[in-house]
Structures are given as C-alpha cells and as structure tokens.
Amino acid sequence: MSALIERKRGDRRSIAIEAVTAASLSTARKRLSAAQKRWLDECAFTAAPGTHALLADANGKLVRVLAGVEGNDALGALAGLPGTLPVGVYHLAEEGVALDAQHVALGWALGAYQFTRYRKARRAPATLAIPGDDLKALAPLVQATALVRDLVNTPTEDMGPEHLGDAIAKLGKAHKAKVRDWVGDELLKHNFPTIHAVGRASHRAPRLIELSWGKSGDPKLVIVGKGVCFDTGGLDLKPSDGMRWMKKDMGGAAHAIALASLVMEAKLPVRLTLLVPAVENAVSGNAMRPGEVITTRAGITVEVDNTDAEGRLILCDALAYASESKPDLIVDFATLTGAARVALGPDLPALFSNREELADAVLAAGKRTADPLWQLPLWRPYRKMLDSYLADMANAGGSRHAGAITAALYLERFVPESQAWMHLDTYAWNDADRPGRPRGGEAMGLRAFFAFLQSRYPR
C-alpha cells in the first residue's frame, strides 16, 4: 500500500493531478501561466488518453500534472502514472474531468504493483494521497489483489501443492481459523478419489486443504478454488506453447484464498469454509490414463476422456464435499477452460450459476466495482456431449463446441439442485502490460464477488 497514503486536511504539499480530455483541455489551459501554455505547445500535448504533461512554476518546481483520460474509465485513468511520474506525493485535483475518486485510487494502487520475489523493484512508485476513509476501504482490496498476483506469478518450484497449503495455514493463523488437510493416500482413505487420481503422478503429493472460520449460528459459505499448480496435460500432453504458462493453473485457488481473506478481514457474519484441492498434473508411470473410470466422492462414475480436463476432476470431489454440509452458498473459482477465453477473451471471466438472481446480483456488483463478468448459460441439452458408453459420464467429449459450458455442466452434476452455486471460469492473467494491469497474474472477479458477499451478508 506504499502507493497510497492518507491525505490530511489542509495539507498542500502534494502535487495536483488534473484529469483532462481533448474537449476540456482549453478550459484547463485558462488556469495556466503563459510559460506553462508554451510548454504544452512545445510538448504537443493534446490530452490523449494515457498521456500526461508535467507543469512547473517559475522556479522550475513541479506543481501540477495534466493527465489525458477517457471519461468512462476511472479505474485505468491514472493507473499508468505511479511508474512514470517523478517519485513524490500527488493528489487528484478538484478541477478537471470528474472521475470516481475511489476507482482512481484503486487503479493507482493496482498500477503500482511489482512482483519482486526474484528481482529488485524497477523503481519506487509515485504516491497518491487520498482521504482516510477511502484508504481504509481500499487497503484490503489492494492487498487481496496483490496476493492473487503474487501466488499466480510464483513459479511452480516455489508454488506447489504444499506451498498453497502453507499460504492457507498462514491465512488461518492470522484470522484464528482452523486449517486441516488430507495429503497423498489420505485422500483415498477419506474418499477424495479424483483429487488423488489427478495428482498421484507428481513427486509432490496431492492434497485437499480446508480452512474453517466463523460462528456456528451464521449462514454457511463455501469458497472452492482449483489448485492445479502445474498442468502438463497428463498423458494427453500439452504442446510446449500450451504448457508454457501453466504455473497459472492454480489461479482459481489464488482467487479463493484472497476472497476468503477479504471475508475474514471484513468479519462478515458467515461460517466460512475454504476448500482448495491442490495437485500437479504430471506424467510418470502411475499417471492417470485416458479411458480409466473413477468412482467419484458423489458416487458418480466418470470416464477419463482426456487427462487434460483435470481441473473439473479435482473440483468435483471438492464440490461434492462442500454440498454435504448444505451451505447457504457455494462459490468456485477455476482457470478451467480455454473455451471461455475464445468466447469472451482474456478480460471477461465466464460466470455460471444455478440461480439467476445470484448471477444478476454478482453482475451488478461487477459493474459497481469496475470488475466486469459475463454470464454464460448452463444449457442442459449440452450434457449429452459428456455421455460415456460405460460410465455415468465422461470428463470431456469429442466436440469442440461449447467447451466452457460443458465444463460447467460437468461441475453442476456434483451440486444438488437444492444447493445455490456459482462458478467462475477466470483467466487470472494479463498477457501484456496495461495501465493498472501489469503483465502476469491478475485478480478477475475478486472485487465483484466480495461486493456481492458484502451485500448478501451485511454486518
């Protein structure tokens, strides 16, 4: 949070940033000195979005920044400035284009993020001074987003199943929550066969990690996250370009852990359970084979059509276990399908729900928090695409059509109709640097779901 500090009343030491557009630039120029106007002309500053101009006083001291913005993008409006402005303290000017101050501050903090585990920070970020109430509200969101990014950015050698367990144990200790796990053959003993089947080929034992927190009288909320710490594809091996970034296949787990941290930090009145099935989908002599039939925790037999459709296999046991306690709501996060990216691109996570009113509420929360989602249907006629000739169902099918939908339909088979459930198929990744969205791991849907939970379970 070093990129944001509290702005005290009457403090005039920070430098004003005025948001301008091409249409408002002429108004902004009226407040400038003749020398400052000449400087803008020399710089050919036209207030194009993403550009800025530094303005000095007669003594050469920086006193104002003009920042070109698009009026409909408060989150990204100034998010490129923390790493480009001179190091110092700034504030959003009252003059200029009106922007949502909280979204501006959040975008600033997200734009200041750097992953520094393996190299030094490129530079210190510029700091934005904001009101104390805004700082208090934004700090948990910034920290949770950084947690997602840090977990996803960390290579598998340092972010295997045991490391996910360590992250959850650390979270449990901070909030006095109970944490337990089932590791290796304990998964078979306690009836989590699909988690074991997917992870048994790795030198790192598969596990299911459970965190429990909250008061017994409160409604129960279960958050589930796909924790595939690396995905080779198994015996249905991915090509090298498809495998290159598979350290990010635990992005669903990162989202689930971060959302759980927000719930506990906010002390929402829920009985929280966090479930993370954590595995590596590896290749060795005992690897899961195409054509095997697994009897899942729910008693449904599944034919393994494709070992690269492993995320839904580990999630199905976790969802069945989550449903046994009949919670008020189950939410799962997963980097589940490339089909969702083909359908919606990298920025829009695909939302599925067996309750329309819940989906509507999360979509509305996404609009409020500048964290967009897009709902895809649980189109049940497509269940036939998962038919198996010898088992209750297959984990994948021969058709390339509707891959995100069929994956969600697979998961739905393990959630009773009476159980409210939502599933987010998220990319958890930025392919390139953009303002507020540096290349690498990314939280997508986190703010939307937290805002939804705050409304559903008010304090």
Catalytic residue among 29, 238, 434, 456: 238
Phi then psi dihedrals of residue 330, to 5 deg: -120, 130
The yes-or-no answer on residue 61 being catalytic is no
Site of tokens 């074991």: 196
Q: At what angle do helices 161-175 and 251-265 cross, to 10 degrees?
A: 0
Sign (positive or negative) of CA dihedral 376, 291, 414, 426:
negative
CA atoms within 13 A on the CB side of 235: 17
In terms of Cα–Cα distance, which of 422, 379, 418 is closest to 402? 379
Kindly give the residue spans of alpha helices, DSSP state H, lying in 226-329: 240-243, 251-265, 311-324
Element (H, E) at 68: strand 62-68
The yes-or-no answer on residue 238 being catalytic is yes
- Residues ≥6 apart with Cβ < 8 Å to 63: 15, 16, 55, 56, 57
Q: Are 211 and 258 in contact (CB under 8 A)?
A: no
Torsion on CA atoms 71, 144, 88, 36, rounded to nearest 10: -10
Catalytic residue among 204, 312, 413, 447: 312
- Residues assigned a catalytic role: 238, 312
